[in-house]
Chain A
């Protein structure tokens, strides 16, 4: 259990923890955009940068690292609000605000860092995609990898292969739900679901007609988790009704 200092506060965390975990344990707020607790850290948004010095380094030597994917070490010193760290964050947010000038999330975080308007040229085609990669990472994480980031530089965007309806997509909506700016459009009902230009048929309850997941989703998760596919066939309301009937039969005292 390494002990380190975050902004002068001593904190002890698990050996596998990251600097970001340690900062949170010490009650220090570090801004993040691409970090999500259920996914592997990525270090993509560069907003969580901190100044860090290891125990055996020179006292005044600090290095700027991304805290979300940097492991902690015994005796480490972390400063989350040094001048160059704040300046780095401001540049990142300034650039993001140029790319996404109309996105409320970016406007809010930028304002928290004292930026009202971007100092760069405003993107002529404003977008809400901040390229945080959460959607592609969550898709990889559940073992589907239907979407990816395509092109580089200015033209970088998130898209399915060749901008066609993705054949591997299972229609789970995880990408749309995790998107911090709600940029990914989708439509869902008890009958069908549409995302990334592909239409899915829902796995409907035979009695009530309700549906929570698509057929492809049920197959994928049944293979992945070993849970029999029959578990998914009925809706939660109909399962509860059946359970109530079973319990009524099992009553000890009439």
Chain B
């Protein structure tokens, strides 16, 4: 079954668990500031998770001089072949959505690879704002999130 990474912006509460899960899964020293998924925080408990779209005609693939970015037919992700990367940072500049990330600690580019078909961030999302679903189900609009019900009372 073909799976797809689905983001429902409506349901994100900006808790940052996906960022932490990603930071631990990919060895960026557990620092949530250096992860492949980033939550843009728009207000208190309102966020937009931003992660690679795995574009059909990707800007990063077009600019890469060593063909280090290749489509993985199994997961549908654009994978980064580390051994071919020359760290020229063209993909960082060329991605129209800002989803290629330069890691200054390791001097390499970080890119979402959908964890090889089992995204580690998905099971940690408490509201289902990010999901790994079959392609057929991806187009259904998300359920509205009852933010009142999620609220924890002071002192509880």
Which A residues are closer than 8 A to B by beta carbons?
36-39, 138, 141-143, 172-174, 177-178, 203, 212-213, 217-218, 221, 224-227, 231-232, 234-241, 243-244, 247-248, 250-254
Contact = CB atoms under 8 A, between A and B. Distances in A.
Interface string B37-72: 010101000001010000000010011011110000
Contacts of B92: 212-213, 236
Nearest to B11: A253
Nearest to B10: A253
B142 A212 contact: no
Given A38-B67, A38-B85, A226-B62, A247 B93 contact: no
B35 interface: no
Nearest to A250: B9
A236 B67 CA distance: 21
B15 to A, nearest CB: 16
Contact of A227 (B94, B107, B141): B94
B124 interface: no
Given A203-B93, A218-B93, A227-B59, A251 B84 contact: no
B83 interface: yes
| Residue with the greatest number of chain B CB neighbours at <10 A, chosen from A38, A225, A232 | A38
A248 B48 CA distance: 7
Given A248-B9, A251-B9, A253-B141, A173 B87 contact: yes
A221 B87 contact: no
Contact of A38 (B9, B38, B83, B90): B83
Interface in B4-45: 9-10, 38, 40, 42
A236 B98 contact: yes
Contacts of A234: 98
| Residue with the greatest number of chain A CB neighbours at <10 A, chosen from B81, B90, B141 | B90
Contact of B94 (A38, A232, A237): A232
B48 A244 contact: yes
| Residue with the greatest number of chain B CB neighbours at <10 A, chosen from A39, A173, A212, A217 | A212
| Residue with the greatest number of chain B CB neighbours at <10 A, chosen from A143, A218, A231 | A231
Contacts of B62: 225-227
Nearest to A211: B93
Contact of A231 (B40, B88, B94): B94
A173 B67 CA distance: 18
B93 A212 contact: yes
Contacts of B67: 38
A143 B86 CA distance: 14
10 contacts: A37-B81, A174-B87, A177-B107, A212-B93, A213-B90, A221-B90, A225-B94, A231-B59, A244-B48, A247-B9
A202 B93 CA distance: 12
A190 B74 CA distance: 38
Contact of B87 (A177, A239, A248): A177
Contacts of A177: 86-88, 107
Contacts of A241: 40
B87 A178 contact: yes
Contacts of A224: 63, 65
Given A244-B40, A244-B50, A252-B10, A142 B65 contact: yes
